[in-house]
Amino acid sequence: MTSTTSVQDKSWLWVFLAWLVALTATLGALFLGEVMGVLPCVLCWYQRIAMFPLVIILAVGLMPFEERCVRYALPLAVVGWIVALYHSLLYWGVIPKDLVPCGEGASCTDVKAVLFGFVPVPLLSIAAFSLVVVILSIVKKGSRNE
């Protein structure tokens, strides 16, 4: 009984951590776009579409704790991670730029998309998605082993 509770507590803490990451990333993206006026490019929008709902889904899953929320959140996070990876590869020129589907609006490889003068925004995005994917995978694995 006690062991189940502690496992549950641990899972809760992991999901809470993933939620904090998603919350920080979401507010950060909103600050960048709405306050600092940096226009989101097309790929940024797809990443936002994957990141923003995580805040809601995980928050609902945390109170009261429902481990199933990981099942709903993980696919979103994985899709976002894939887009973020593609975006990062574009940004560093690994994928040639002429394949980019960025017609209108802000460019996805704009060097101005840099925070504090040296952290590129696509890097922040892939870091956040990676963290969420890893954390949620840990929770999923833990629940399977039970």
Partner 1 sequence: MNKRILVVSAGLLALVVFALGVFFYTQQQAQQAAQLAQANRTALVRPHSPAFGNPGAKVTIVEFIDPACETCSAFFPLVKSLVGGSSGQVNLVMRYAPLHKGSDEVVKILEAARMQDLYWPVLQALLKSQSVWVVHHEARPERVWDLIQDTGLDVAKARADMNSPRVAEVVAQDIADGKTLKVTKTPGFFVNGKPLVDFGSDQLKALVAREVRSAYGK
Which residues of the shown chain bind partner 1 in the complex (CB under 8 A)? 12, 16, 19-20, 23-24, 27, 30-31, 35-37, 59, 62-65
Kindly tell me which of 68 and 94 has the beta carbon lying closer to partner 1.
68
Following DSSP, what letter does each residue of 73-126 receive, concatenated?
HHHHHHHHHHHHHHHHHHHTTSS-GGG----SSS-TT-TT-EETTTEEHHHHHH
Residue 59 CA to residue 90 CA, distance in Å, equals 32
Closest CB 24 distance from partner 1, rounded Å? 7
Closest CB 125 distance from partner 1, rounded Å? 18
128: helix, coil or strand? helix
Closest CB 115 distance from partner 1, rounded Å? 13
Residue 5 CA to residue 11 CA, distance in Å, equals 10
Closest CB 16 distance from partner 1, rounded Å? 7
Residue 13 CA to residue 3 CA, distance in Å, equals 15
Kindly tell me which of 79 and 102 has the beta carbon lying closer to partner 1.
102
Kindly tell me which of 11 and 109 has the beta carbon lying closer to partner 1.
11
Kindly tell me which of 11 and 88 has the beta carbon lying closer to partner 1.
11
